[in-house]
Amino acid sequence: MEIPVFTVDAFTNLPFKGNPAAVCLLLHELQDDMYQNIAAEMNLSETAFIIRLNSKDDFNSENVNSTVVFETLSGELYVRQQGESIVMDFPLNKPTPVGLNEFKDIVKAAVGDQPVQEVCLCAITKMLMVRLADSCDRSVLTSLQPDPAVLLRVDTGGRVRGLLVTSIGDPGCQPGYDFYSRNFFPWFGVPEDPVTGSAHTVLAGYWSEKLGKKKMLAYQCSSRGGELELELQDDGRLNIAGQAVTVLQGILTV
pLDDT band for position 103 (cuts 50, 70, 90): very high
- For residues 39 and 50, what is the distance between their CA atoms, to the nearest angstrom? 13
Q: Please determine, looking at this structure, whether the domain spanning 2-78+243-253 carries the CATH number 3.10.310.10.
A: yes
* Whether the Cβ atoms of residue 183 and residue 144 lie closer than 8 Å to each other: no
Cα end-to-end distance, the chain, whole Å = 5
Active site residue 46: yes
DSSP category for residue 136: -
Give the count of beta carbons closer than 10 Å to the beta carbon of residue 157. 5
Domain residue ranges in the chain? 2-78+243-253, 96-241
What is this structure's pTM?
0.90
Q: Indicate if the pLDDT at residue 63 is higher than 60.
A: no
Q: How do strand 85-91 and strand 237-242 relate by DSSP bridges? A: antiparallel
Could you tell me if 127 and 239 are in contact, meaning their C-beta atoms sit under 8 angstroms apart?
Answer: no
Task: Choose which CATH entry (3.30.70.580, 3.10.20.740, 3.90.1150.10, 3.10.310.10) describes domain 96-241.
Answer: 3.10.310.10
Buried b (16+ CB within 10 A) or exposed e, 134-152: eebebebbeebebebeebe
Q: Which of 2, 29, 41, 46 is catalytic?
A: 46
Q: What is the pLDDT of residue 75?
A: 67
pLDDT band at residue 174 using 50, 70 and 90 as cut-offs: confident
- Asked if residue 114 has pLDDT above 60, the reply is yes
Picking from 16-20, 64-68, 176-180, which range would have the lowest pLDDT averaged per residue? Answer: 64-68
Side chain identity, residue 13: N
